[in-house]
Amino acid sequence: MPSLEMSGNADLASSVLSPVTLFLHADMVGRLVMILLLCASIGSWALIFGQFFRSSAANRASRNFEKAYSKAESMGELERFYDRYFGSNDPSARIFLAGMQTAKSAGKVIDHEGERDRLSLSLEDAVAAAVEDMSSPLSSLATIGSVSPFVGLFGTVWGIMHSFSQIAAGGNTAMAIVGPGIAEALFSTALGLFAAIPASIAYNRMSHTIGRFESRLTRFSDRIYITLSRAMDARH
């Protein structure tokens, strides 16, 4: 009999502490906090997986483009390369296209130094645009990682206040009465951490990956600058 009673109490405790039960027993404010944190967690994971596939595709496309670019030796080959990749959205291709457009528009201008400055600025702008486009999810992840713990803390404080108000109204301090309310409050903290921890880790990792990607694009833009500046000098 004691073992059956203990088993029944354990089953009751597990059912009371289940996430669904904690959500259903919470008040409207507590439910709203839980829903917001759950949506933040789902959104952060969607951003993480989306950025992973996007970053992998961008790196793969850039590697392929740079390999093809290394085979172009003359300005005529670069012209054909330009026509082939015109309108491409690959990061390295966009940098090359920006540089080629500047070089093609230079014409027969005698101001070599001014041409080089315009070429350098166009390449820098193309690199910055590619990095900015790749970094777009980071602000959302940073917001989720920094705000979610405080939203969870708010839910915890609200849940504890709600439990204390029930104690004051009923005058019963038994754990069976106040336990579910405390569990609901702590569940909000757990949801906040569940949303914030992956977002913060992903933000740091993505920042490092994007920094390496920017360095790679910068090195490639330097190669383009050297090639096109020599071609423009040879044209005069």
Q: What is the pLDDT of residues 11-69, one digit of tens each?
A: 444 455 677 777 777 778 888 988 999 999 999 999 999 999 988 888 888 888 888 88
In this prediction, residues 122-133 reach a mean pLDDT of 90
Where are the domains positioned within the chain?
Answer: 27-235
Q: Alpha carbon of 178 to those of 21, 29, 154, 182, 184: distances in Å?
A: 15, 18, 19, 6, 10
Which amino acid is residue 65, in one-letter code? F
Give the predicted TM-score (pTM) of the model.
Answer: 0.75
Whole-number Å distance between alpha carbons of 127 and 216:
10
Percent of the chain, pLDDT > 70?
Answer: 80
Closest C-alpha among 178, 176, 186 to residue 34: 186
Characterize 153-183 residue by residue with b for buried, 16 or more Cβ atoms within 10 angstroms of its Cβ, and e for exposed.
ebbbebbbebbeeeeeeeeeeeeeebebbbb
Structure tokens at 41: 């967690």
pLDDT of residue 9: 40
Flag whether pLDDT at 106 surpasses 80.
no
To the nearest whole number, what is the mean pLDDT of the chain?
A: 80
Closest C-alpha among 200, 232, 225 to residue 47: 200
pLDDT class of 225 with cuts at 50, 70, 90:
confident
Listed ranges 137-141, 170-174, 180-184; the one with the highest mean pLDDT: 137-141
Whole-number Å distance between alpha carbons of 143 and 133:
18
Which range is least confidently modeled, 37-41, 58-62, 88-92, 132-136?
88-92
Burial class (CB in 10 A: 0-12, 13-18, 19+), 209: middle
pLDDT of residue 202: 92
